Amino acid sequence: MGMIKEFREFAMKGNVVDLAIGVIIGAAFSKIVSSLVDDVITPLLLKPALEATNLKDLDKLVIFGTVKAGVFLSAVINFLIVAFILFLIVKGINRFKRKEEAVAPVTPEEIILLREIRDSLRK
């Protein structure tokens, strides 16, 4: 029973639970970004390039007969969007951390009194 209790304590630590939630949200976010690329960016921004190659779908863009350039381009766009969003999130978190660090710590009243006593004894 000791191993089960130890595993339960490990699994319920905040970091493990936070990581699990992050993975689940990341998977859902990945689907949203994929839909954004496939359903919005590709039709709007890449339409001229697809029309020049007589294609309607980015996945069908193939060069040299075997290189799936469309799939690769879609993956690159997905990565750039996710990386940019994560950059913005980390930047926001760092801004809040800096504000917390900027707040001067409050000196307890006992320490102030002890300093006053020390200074008066020195005189």
Residue predicted with more confidence, 23 or 46: 23
Question: Rounded to 5 degrees, what are φ and ψ at 67?
Answer: -85, 115
Kindly report the backbone phi and psi dihedral angles of residue 46, in degrees, each rounded to the nearest multiple of 5, phi listed first. -100, 5
Neighbours of 61 (CB within 10 A): 19
Work out the angle at residue 19's Cα, subtended by the Cα atoms of residues 11 and 103, and round it to the nearest 5 degrees.
Answer: 110
C-alpha 21: how far from chain center: 12
Question: Which one of 12-16, 48-52, 64-68, 92-96 scores highest in mean pLDDT?
Answer: 92-96
In the chain the first and final C-alpha atoms are separated, in Å, by 65
Tokens of 101: 């660090």
* pLDDT given for residue 117 in this prediction: 92
pLDDT digits (tens, 9 = 90+) for 62-104: 778 777 777 788 788 878 887 888 788 878 878 877 776 666 6
